[in-house]
Amino acid sequence: MLNVPPPSALWHFRPQPILDESFSSWFCRTAWQNGLYPADLYRIALPGARMHRIDLDRFACDELVENLAQHTGINTDTLWNRSFRAWDGQLNEDCSKHGKLLWLPPAGTDRTCKSFGQQVCPDCLREHQTPYLKRHWRLSFVTGCTRHQRLLIDRCPECSAPIQPLFTSAHSDSVAICSKCGFDLRRTPQTSNCHHTDLTIQKDLIETAEDGWTYMGKYSDVYSLSYFRILWVTYRLLATGQFAKSLRNWCSTHLGEAIPSSNIPLIKEIELLNPRCRQALVRHAHLLMQDWPHKFVAACQASNISSKDLIKGYDKEPFALWDTVRCHLHTPSTETSAEVIDAAKRHLLSQDICPTYKELTQLIGIKFQARRHMAESGRNCIHYGVHRYWKLDGVSSEIRTAAKKAARREGENIGPWVDKVLRLALEQNP
């Protein structure tokens, strides 16, 4: 028969969560106050487990939170409300599932890349005797401090490392210290001031996320989950891709902005954009969401954005977006069917013309890249080869095939194998 463990005693030091503190911030403070590293506290609270590099605001498990509640006397709901779980159903469906979350990028690392999901206001950190992290600082549409009216920072000003308080050295002010170089974030030089408009937009968005719904023109009351999904689609269009510049110009003109939006880099990994860039893009995205869907439709039409650019799978997008696109931005499919291509091929062959892609597109009148393989190759030469490492002009196809075979025999890729053979030949004939 198993022995039932006695009820655990409360830990000696049990700091209460501060007003709007995040879960990981409270976890750090609890660790330091008990003379532990956060990783040690994790192992004690969850016997046998290791913290590694998990994002604790997102991936704290039920057992961890229940054990922490048991040892600190703090209600589990109070702790959950400080984690990402508080945004489930408001911003994302379920944060415990793997995959990217909208508006909540990881803190520290995203797989093997840096991720700047933890932001701080240096003034707020300096203001409190015990610095702590606010839970709203994890939201990527939050870019400024409403109290100090300045931009947040999302990386160490000294070494550019992401802010990761869970991995700092033993220090009571650990959440204010860079985990990589030890720089005190409270000493960050003054960042830019935030415009009143941006702080108002941010406040509106936080309220929408907390209320769980908002008003969207003819669609009336809409769940915040749908609203933030549409805001994300809009934000992404502004941040990257072929329409970004044109959309940004449209927004800048309508907002009467003096500073061109071209000073925001066009990068694919939009989660890496710093608070300054995100603030400008959120301002633009928020403008396009106003008076829904009229501004959005006008901006898309001015930028030649149509349904195929906006909706990839009809079942995935919120109704307010899907219906808007269907009513105002729908473009008929220009895809050429296989039957049409077959008929065109038959016609060309009857005229003794080889049905190449060029001949077929001239006859049909539209391009059909997706079915290009149905056209005949107009070339009589042998295909050069398909291996991407194997493109050396002047090497015959027989030698290429033989070399690939030899490399495979030796368990090598073709590149290193060719390199080895060439080195050998050069050594013999210096």
Binding site for Zn ion (CB under 5 A): 121, 123-124, 145, 147-148, 156, 158-159, 161, 178, 180-181, 183
DSSP assignment of 235-262: HHHHHSSTTHHHHHHHHHHHHT-SS-GG
At 304 the three-state DSSP class reads coil
User: Within 10 Å of residue 324's Cβ, how many Cβ atoms?
Assistant: 27
Nearest by Cα to 277 from 406, 144, 390: 144
Nearer to Zn ion, 190 or 331 (CB): 190
CB of 124 to Zn ion, least distance (A): 3
* Smallest separation, CB 209 to Zn ion (Å): 20
Least distance in Å: CB of 193 to Zn ion? 12
**Residue 133 or 299 with smaller CB distance to Zn ion:** 133
Distances 122 to 149, 195, 368 between C-alpha atoms, Å: 12, 18, 55
Omega before residue 293 within 30° of 0, cis: yes
Phi, psi at 145, each rounded to 5° = -100, 120
Please, which residue, 151 or 341, has the CB nearer to Zn ion? 151
Closer residue to Zn ion in complex, CB, 142/178: 178
Answer whether 371's CB lies under 8 Å from 341's CB. yes
Count Cβ atoms below 10 Å from residue 237 Cβ, excluding itself: 26
Q: Which is nearer to Zn ion, 148 or 286 (CB)?
A: 148
Residues 6+ apart with CB under 8 A from 323: 219
* Nearest alpha carbon to residue 123 among 160, 163, 150: 150
As measured in angstroms, the least distance from the Cβ of 323 to Zn ion is: 40
Q: How far is the CB of 148 from Zn ion (least distance, A)?
A: 4
Q: How far is the CB of 105 from Zn ion (least distance, A)?
A: 19
- Closest distance between Zn ion and the C-beta of residue 50, in Å? 25
Whichever of 136 and 284 has its CB closer to Zn ion, that residue is 136
Nearer to Zn ion, 147 or 423 (CB): 147
CA–CA distance, 404 with 412 (Å, rounded to integer): 9
Residue with tokens 């030649």: 304
Residue bearing tokens 């009809």: 314
